[in-house]
Structure 1
Amino acid sequence: MPHVLQFMAQLHRLGPAVAAALFAVLWAPTPALAQAQAEAALKAKLTLSLTRFVQWPGAASGDPLRVCLAQRDAAISQAFAEADGQVVNGRRIQVVKAPPLTGCNVLFVHASAERVSDLMRAVAGGPILVVGDADGMLNLGGMVEFVPVNDSIRFDINMAAFRQAQLTVSSQVLKLARQVRE
């Protein structure tokens, strides 16, 4: 503790401008944190971009688009929170924590989510676009799984899950997928 007090006294003697600059450097996001935030932002943008190319049965353009997040990751939570209130295809985005899954149009399942298989069983057959990066999501009934490839994020699609949920996805999205499973 005496070392901390000596350090604080030295900072004070340097003057407020130098102390502020040093504080900014010491508390700046680490490259790993910045990379996690950038990756989370990309996944949020990809998820919301996908919603532009999916049609839900009986959805009206004025209905909210409820995006439910199953995750325990601050970067993912923040990235999706930034989209809250935006409009996609005439639908205002509402971002909420999952579970519960009531009223979800989109479920994003992050690798940090607990009980992924239980979540997947709960949404099976419902008109919910299930997207995420949890390992093996497509095998559990997910529709879109984000996969890291080199320094980028690609995605795989499970068409059987789309059909089971009675959702329609544009052929343009299928062309961009790394892999499409029937």
Structure 2
Amino acid sequence: MSSGLRHPHPCAPRRGLALLLAALAALCLAQSASAQAGSEAALKLRLVLALSRFVQWPAPFAADQPLALCVATRRGEVDPVFAAADGQSVGARRVRLLKAGGSEACDLLYLPSGADQAAALLRAQAQRPVLTVSDADGFLTRGGMVELVLVNDALRFDVNQTALRSARLGLSSQALRLARHVQD
């Protein structure tokens, strides 16, 4: 497993922890509440991709396959910041951007607040090994796995362990320690 994305133990290697800490520290730096929507979307994208490095995926896991990032839309258009992620590297994997709701399988599903058909898209991924992330208030209570939260002008995240386990996914203990709240 050369990618560092899946680890047989709940702890990521030190190098992986350093990368996560660096990525998350950059994200958690205070951001102006009046920041442009594009820069806020860029922060959310970086956090989603950083967290994906520390997901413990179920077997069989193909570390050399693209990382399918499905993004739900608002009014039919994928945010240009997320669209620019297509082809970026996450560890040894290349991001393949897909519009949520298509026939292709997702590894990550991002549902921005106000996304078209968010509830149906979330239900469709239930019990599947797909990391679901949203910035919508109350996302965890609706079965989501990671909720992005703006707290005191800093981007943070909450985790729903029950939803992760039901999808046969895990997050490394280091990532969980950086979460604002972890629900069991």
TM over 0.5: yes
**TM-score normalised per structure 1:** 0.77
Does residue 47 of structure 1 match 2:48? yes
Aligned to 1:22: none
**1:119 is aligned with what amino acid?**
L
For residue 174 of structure 1, give the secondary structure of its aligned residue in structure 2: helix
The alignment covers a number of residue pairs equal to 152
Q: Contact (CA 8 Å) 2:100, 2:121: kept in 1 or not?
A: no
TM-score (norm: length of structure 2): 0.76
Q: CA-atom RMSD, angstroms?
A: 2.2
Identity %: 49
Q: Displacement of 1:55 after TM fit?
A: 2.1
Structure 1 or 2: larger helix share? Answer: 1
1:61 to 53, 60, 63: 63
The gaps in structure 2 that reach 5 residues or longer are: 1-31
**SS in structure 2 opposite 1:160?**
helix
Shift in Å, 1:112: 2.2
For residues 31-56 of structure 1, the C-alpha deviation after alignment (integer angstroms, 9 at most, x for no partner) is 99961111000000000000110021
Unaligned runs of 5+ residues in structure 1 are: 1-30
Q: Which residue of 2 aligns with 1:170?
A: 172
Question: Which residue of 117, 120, 128 maps to 2:122?
Answer: 120
1:158 aligned onto 2:160: yes
CA contact (8 A) 1:110 1:133 kept: yes
| Equivalent residue in structure 1 for 2:83, among 77, 81, 85 | 81
Q: Which stretch shifts more, 83-92 or 127-136?
A: 83-92
Divergent runs of 4+, >2 A = 31-34, 73-76
1:84 deviates by 1.1
Question: Do 1:125 and 1:165's aligned partners in 2 also have CA atoms closer than 8 Å?
Answer: yes
Distance 1:99 1:75, change over 3 A: closer
- In 2, Cα distance between equivalents of 1:136 and 1:81: 25
> 2:136, 2:170 → 1: CA distance?
23
Quickly say closer, same or farther: Cα 1:121–1:74, change in 2 above 3 A.
closer
Q: Which amino acid aligns with 2:57?
A: W
- For 2:142, the aligned partner's letter is L
CA shift for structure 1 position 137: 1.0
Specify the alignment match of 1:146 in structure 2. 148
